Chain A
Amino acid sequence: MTTAPLDKASSLQELAADKAQSRHTAVFWMVFSLVMAALIAAPLVLPEFWRRLTTEILIWGLLAMSSDLLIGYTGMVSFGHSAFFGLGMYGAAGALLLVSPPNLWLAILFGLAGAAGAALFVAYFSTRLRDIYFAITTLIFSQIFYVIIFTWTAVTGGENGLIFTRPHLRIPFLYDARFTSTTMHWFVLAVVAGSYLILRRITQSPFGMVLQSIRENEPRTRAIGYRVENFKMVAVMLSGLFAGLAGVLYAVQNEFAAPDFVYFLTSGETVIYNVMGGIGTLVGPIVGAGFFHLMRELLSRFFGDQFPYLIPLGLIFIAMIIFLPQGIMGFARRWLNR
């Protein structure tokens, strides 16, 4: 009998927690739909140049979000996401050049297969290592892919890359038309938003919890009985798949695949988006990508095309690591909670 009041108290507490949780969920979906509405309306109001830039930011955001699964949630900094992005690009290019008529969905499938292959390779070797060793090996692996793509001219077009025409946006029985910059934007938005929801679900699932526990304390996670290596491998594979998806989108939007995008700089910028936007938030990396590309655009408007925009952005990046390690989103969250 003595336990009854306690039970009641704890169930009351649970009720309060449930209520807070459901209010949180309501707020989340409200903000999500507001942002989605703004992004859906964006191509209708923005001029052509900014429309393209917004679409590109979304693609870079997807790439950054995929790497956040590793950096923010599993505590592994990948300096090799350009490999997955690039293999996605070349996979899509392969599908669009080899199969006629070019098919968008096949391009996505090929791109994902390419990225998955690269991710399997990288995941198998580099997940044996931790921290900086992981970072260095991912970097070196991406460089291997770069060298292969750059020198295998017969297949990849070498330095010139591959050029192809954009496939139609074709949904069987429903819709079949050429991409315009507006439908391109909506298509990219749909893919990025879908990926975001999937990634969010992943990070909140028991699997995602294990990843976060690896980040917090790897030996303890192992001691509890989780096979840490397997979880890390799956994390790298998932991350690589979404990065490959971003590569496919970029290839379809720009109608080319080039070795420059497999080069280290793409990986580096992915890390920058993450740090600037705020790691471990999924939304942050998109914000970071937006911030980076807007700054870059503004700087080259003010100082001319030749201006080395990476100097001021690099300095901002260093300053953020030192003074604002949570990034823009982390800062905003703290400021809102004040």
Chain B
Amino acid sequence: MDAIAQFFHNIPIDLLIIQTVNGVVTGMILALVASGLTLIFGIMDVVNFAHGELFMLGAYLGFVVFVSTGSFWLALIGAALVVAILGAAMQIVALRPLIGRDPLNTILATFGVSLVLQNYALWQFGPVVRKIPAPIGSQFTLFYLQYPWYRLLVAALSAAIIGGFWLFLKHGKFGVWIRATAQDRVMAQAMGIPVPLVYTGVFAIGAAMAAASGVLFAPMVGVSHTMGLDWVLKAFIVVVVGGMGNFVGSIVAAIFISLIEAYTTIWLDPSRAVIVSFVILILTLLFRPTGLFAATPR
């Protein structure tokens, strides 16, 4: 009994709470990235390998807009718009010709796009880490830490964007088109829904969400050309654990995985804590290959 009491006594409650907040914040950003990825997959059967690069490019564009205008909010909107156009262009040029071919072709093509974008960023911005200052600098006291309000704002904003998108899917005209196409694209086409336009639109929306999360993330750690792979990997894990194409599942999975990773960093250094999410992925694949949060096993 003593040993058990000792064990509970040794759990650092304050650290746990701090890491819970951290986990929820990164989880919300990850949810924003992953929901774009799962949306694109659910509708087009396209695994967008370049999603992390869109995130990275959004952050860089946010940096560029911020440097020239000085406004964080302009940077957020500007980066999202530009990357949305880029995403639409990417879909039209690289993915539209591949419709009807093996879906593996699309992962190869988007992998090609990610290579080009990543090396373009390296060429244009160099290997130096860039940082956008947070729009609000104030902090509050969380135990012995000065915790920035900005992080909570990020979580709230991500939730707002996801919620707004959810409403748009439910009630917007284009949103209804998207859901109809996801359910049955042939029937949707027969009902007069312009399916090619829906495809391009969905890609643009997904890209904009990735870019927005990139800008939101930039003040926290900074922007580098290699961050794309980390994020796309995390997003892949989230999407598989949450169930491919399952919008709600991927949001829950994003927070779940970020929380567990955050708790792990109490005991392990962060570069190794990544392995924990890999292990969650393996366990999911072993025991519930359709995803942990799939409503109905497919």
Contacts and interface: CB of A to CB of B under 8 A. Distances in A.
Interface string A127-157: 0110111011101110110011011000000
Interface string A274-315: 010000000000000000000000000000000010110111
B286 A125 contact: yes
A321 B109 contact: yes
B105 A321 contact: yes
A117 interface: no
A317 interface: yes
Interface residues of B, number: 38
Contact of B115 (A125, A133, A144, A314): A314
B167 interface: no
A338 to B, nearest CB: 24
Interface in B198-241: 229, 233, 236-237, 240
Given A129-B289, A143-B233, A151-B272, A77 B281 contact: no
A330 interface: no
A137 B285 contact: yes
A318 interface: yes
Given A150-B271, A311-B123, A77 B240 contact: no
B149 interface: no
Given A77-B107, A132-B104, A310-B115, A147 B271 contact: yes
Interface string B92-109: 001001100101110111
Contacts of A314: 112-113, 115-116, 119
A275 B108 contact: yes
Contact of B104 (A135, A268, A311, A322): A135
Contact of B107 (A125, A129, A132, A264): A132
Q: Is the interface of A mostly helix, strand, loop or mixed?
A: helix
Interface in A241-284: 264, 268, 271-272, 275
Contacts of B244: 133
A140 B94 contact: no
B166 interface: no
Given A144-B278, A275-B108, A321-B98, A128 B289 contact: yes
B115 A135 contact: no
A325 interface: yes
B122 A308 contact: yes
Interface in A94-133: 125-126, 128-129, 131-133
A140 B278 contact: yes
Nearest to A310: B119
A132 to B, nearest CB: 5
Given A132-B104, A140-B236, A322-B97, A317 B278 contact: no
- Centre residue among B98, B103, B115, B119 by max chain A CB count within 10 A: B115
A322 B48 CA distance: 16
A22 B236 CA distance: 49
B120 interface: yes
A252 B233 CA distance: 32
A125 B104 CA distance: 20
B253 interface: no
Contacts, number: 103
A43 to B, nearest CB: 32
Q: A311, A313, A325: which has the most chain B beta carbons within 10 Å?
A: A311
B73 interface: no
Given A140-B281, A311-B120, A147 B98 contact: no
A232 B103 CA distance: 20
Contacts of A322: 94, 97-98, 109
Interface string A164-206: 0000000000000000000000000000000000000000000
Q: Which of A75, A140, A271 has the most CB of B within 10 A?
A: A140
Contacts of A308: 119-120, 122-123
A268 B123 contact: no
A227 to B, nearest CB: 18
Contacts of B33: none
B275 interface: yes
A317 B289 contact: no
A268 B228 CA distance: 14
Contacts of B281: 137, 140
Contact of A310 (B98, B116, B229): B116
B112 A264 contact: no
A136 B47 contact: yes
A311 B289 CA distance: 36
A322 B47 CA distance: 16
A148 B274 CA distance: 10
B111 interface: yes
A147 B104 contact: no
27 contacts: A77-B104, A77-B108, A125-B285, A132-B104, A132-B107, A136-B47, A136-B236, A140-B233, A140-B236, A144-B278, A150-B271, A151-B271, A268-B111, A308-B119, A308-B120, A308-B123, A311-B120, A311-B123, A314-B112, A314-B116, A315-B112, A317-B115, A318-B94, A318-B112, A322-B97, A322-B98, A325-B101
Given A143-B274, A147-B278, A311-B119, 12 more contacts: A77-B104, A77-B107, A126-B285, A132-B47, A136-B236, A137-B281, A139-B233, A147-B271, A151-B269, A268-B111, A314-B116, A321-B98
| 9 nearest CB pairs, A to B | A314-B116, A318-B112, A314-B115, A308-B119, A308-B123, A310-B119, A317-B112, A132-B47, A322-B97
Interface of A: 75, 77, 79, 125-126, 128-129, 131-133, 135-137, 139-141, 143-144, 147-148, 150-151, 264, 268, 271-272, 275, 308, 310-311, 313-315, 317-318, 321-322, 325
Interface of B: 47, 94, 97-98, 101, 103-105, 107-109, 111-113, 115-116, 118-120, 122-123, 229, 233, 236-237, 240, 244, 269, 271-272, 274-275, 278, 281-282, 285-286, 289
